[in-house]
Amino acid sequence: MEMTGLQPTKANRKKFDIDLAYGKVREQEVADMLQDKKIEVKSERGVWYNSGNIAIEYESYGKPSGIAATESDYWFHNLCLGDTTFATLVFKTEVLKSIIDQLDNIRSVNGGDGYKSKMYLLNLEKLFSTDVIKALKNGF
């Protein structure tokens, strides 16, 4: 009798092995992000919830900052609601830069202390749209 539940059956064992190997590679990638790479962590407060946008700083006081100046390998972007982190978006920094460069409609706003910083507003729906994903898949 074949096992059911959490154990794969004989019929689906091959797919399970492939999926398991793929998953283990991705688990190691996450471990590497936190142990062997430079990361940048930004946190959005409740504005993202109302606007549907995240802000990615690229200039402050006339000098490159944020995404334009980071030396990080990964960009972590927390979406917060009060003191709770709702979700964290994680991008390879080079991929996020490519996405920003390729978006067809990107909005820039001033913000921060004295409105001396410039930020891209990225619409979350657009960021994860099939157009952006297809462009990424095709190597931009």
Q: Record the pTM.
A: 0.80
| Residue given tokens 């797919």 in the structure block | 15
Please give the distance of CA 123 from its chain centroid, rounded to a whole number.
13
What is the spatial distance between Cα 116 and Cα 9, in angstroms, rounded to a whole number?
60
Please give the distance of CA 86 from its chain centroid, rounded to a whole number.
14
Each residue's pLDDT expressed in tens, for the chain with a length of 140 residues: 455 556 656 666 666 667 888 889 989 988 988 898 999 999 999 899 999 999 999 999 999 999 999 999 999 999 999 999 999 999 999 999 999 988 877 899 999 889 999 999 999 998 888 888 887 777 75
Task: Identify the pLDDT of residue 34.
Answer: 86
What is the spatial distance between Cα 63 and Cα 61, in angstroms, rounded to a whole number?
6
